[in-house]
Amino acid sequence: MSTSHDGSPGVPAEGAAAAGSAPTPDAPARQGISRRGLLGLAGATVAGIGIGIGADRAVSAASGSASSPATRSYAFYGAHQAGIVTPAQDRLHFAAFDMAGDATRADLIELLQDWTVAAAAMTAGQDIGEFGAVGGNYDAPPSDTGEAQGLPASGLTITFGFGPSLFRGAADADRFGLAGKQPPALHPLPHFPGDMLDPAASDGDLCIQACADDPQVAVHAIRNLTRIAFGRASLRWSQLGFGRTSSTSTTQATPRNLFGFKDGTANVKAEETATVDKQIWVNSSDGPAWMSGGSYLVARRIRMTIETWDRTILREQEAVIGRTKGEGAPLSGGSEFTEPDFEATGRADQPLIAETAHVRLSHPTSNGGAAMLRRGYNFVDGNDELGRLNAGLFFLSYQRSPEQFITVQSQLAKNDALNEYIRHVGSALFAVPPGASQGGYIGEPLFA
């Protein structure tokens, strides 16, 4: 399989660690979750729980190779993190965390080590901990919360990222000795016209993206990783998503967003390895070295004014998007995957695809060739105080540089006719490091 693909099905054979995974002076290789991680699992006590969790058990369980979404599994370890070009699953639980005020560099390293062991177990369809959800001491909290008992891996992927504030906190404080390794591209996204961002639902020191084909499996992953973080990091904000709004593989049909339109027709696909290498993965020449093989993740919570859209005539809806609502074809003609013709005109020599149409403004030809791999999800979070649906798109995109997103979003924020129907209310940017080697941990090169 090409190295442009992440998360190939199946867990690597035990002991097949990639080259370059030797322990660093900061962090010896772990064989299980730390004592502090176990304290998080136990809440207030570790009575009756083993101090270490065997990494062998956690990561070497055989993965199902069947094609069923329920039994499908993806390796946690690899050159790239799973959950990027992996075929997009149907469900999401995304969470951003802040490190505790008194946390040290050692605490951060230990947390990443503990998260790695637990993530490798859960993506293999296993409980976390030596005794799992029900096999431990009756007088101690279980190691695993247990709501995924009996459920298969369901294609679970767990992807970790680092926010700008992890490198430089308030007043440029270098809390963890990482300021010198902050990527030049990793800074808070600029304020775009029309942004109505809620600071409490934006940014974060760390993020975890859990995707699966079963919502309970995705929630179980975030729940247990949050529990492990107890005392070292706390949940800042989170988002549940359903119904992927992009396809990341040519094997997937194009899904629809809550406006009823096909979404992600022109998305970068995993099989387009040359494009993935050019647009998604950080190159060794991009710097810094620890990010080579990683990517940059943009998360945007986009509220849709559903009620206003639902009262808009079909002709106007299609003009705003630039595609037909049924087939998803460009208004210049053809079928869904026909390349839009932005020069085609109709009555009175007016362009068939309006100058303000979303498909025109987001197209690479309008943005100097910039493209992104999108992994967004629909969300409905009840209703607001006026009885309107609190619903929309949780936009996720991966790109080699944040400038790719900034270029496209700057164009859309100023000119997109869709802005009448949407509001950007949450925003974050994270550096997603390359995958971990078996015996190592996520982000290990950062601490070398």
pLDDT digits (tens, 9 = 90+) for 142-179: 999 999 999 999 999 999 999 999 999 877 789 999 99
User: 316 phi and psi, to 5 degrees?
Assistant: -70, -40
pLDDT digits (tens, 9 = 90+) for 405-443: 999 999 999 999 999 999 999 999 999 999 999 999 999
Please state the rounded mean pLDDT for residues 186-202.
97
Pair type for strands 422-432 and 373-374: unpaired
Q: Is the sign of the CA dihedral 46, 48, 52, 53 positive or negative?
A: negative
- The residue length of the chain stands at 448
Compute CA distances 304 → 34, 265, 363, 378, 380, whole Å: 43, 20, 21, 10, 10
Residue 13 confidence (pLDDT): 32
* Distance, CA of 156 to CA of 89 (rounded, Å): 8
Compute CA distances 41 → 128, 226, 231, whole Å: 10, 9, 11
pLDDT of residue 188 exceeding 70, the answer is: yes
Helix spans in 97-254 (H) = 105-123, 164-167, 215-228
- Do the Cβ atoms of 411 and 358 come closer than 8 Å? no
**Confidence tier at 70 by pLDDT (50, 70, 90):** confident
* Distance, CA of 254 to CA of 251 (rounded, Å): 10
- Do the Cβ atoms of 362 and 341 come closer than 8 Å? no
* Distance, CA of 125 to CA of 216 (rounded, Å): 12
Please state whether 64 falls in left (phi above 0), alpha (psi between -120 and 50) or beta.
beta
**Nearest-10 crossing angle of helices 105-123, 215-228:** 150
pLDDT of residue 11 exceeding 60, the answer is: no
What lies within 8 Å, CB to CB, of 179 at 6+ separation is 167, 168, 172
- Do the Cβ atoms of 439 and 250 come closer than 8 Å? no
pLDDT digits (tens, 9 = 90+) for 92-125: 999 999 999 999 999 999 999 999 999 999 999 9
- Do the Cβ atoms of 31 and 52 come closer than 8 Å? yes
Domain ranges of the chain: 177-202+245-437
- Quote the mean pLDDT of the chain: 88
* Distance, CA of 58 to CA of 441 (rounded, Å): 13
Region of poorest pLDDT, from 32-36, 228-232, 290-294: 32-36
Q: What share of the chain has pLDDT > 90, as a percent?
A: 82
119: closest CA among 24, 29, 211?
A: 211
| Structure token digits, residue 199 | 């600071």
Pair type for strands 389-399 and 91-99: unpaired
Q: Which tops the pLDDT comparison, 10 or 131?
A: 131
| Structure token digits, residue 338 | 């026909």
- Do the Cβ atoms of 196 and 427 come closer than 8 Å? no
Residue with tokens 């810094």: 288
367: closest CA among 396, 417, 330, 401?
A: 401
- The span from the first CA to the last CA of the chain, in angstroms, equals 29
Q: Which tops the pLDDT comparison, 31 or 343?
A: 343
pLDDT digits (tens, 9 = 90+) for 292-340: 999 999 999 999 999 999 999 999 999 999 999 999 999 999 999 999 9
- Do the Cβ atoms of 411 and 367 come closer than 8 Å? yes
Residue 426 carries which DSSP code?
A: E
* Distance, CA of 4 to CA of 434 (rounded, Å): 12
The distance of Cα 369 from the centroid of its chain, to the nearest Å, equals 23
**Confidence tier at 35 by pLDDT (50, 70, 90):** low
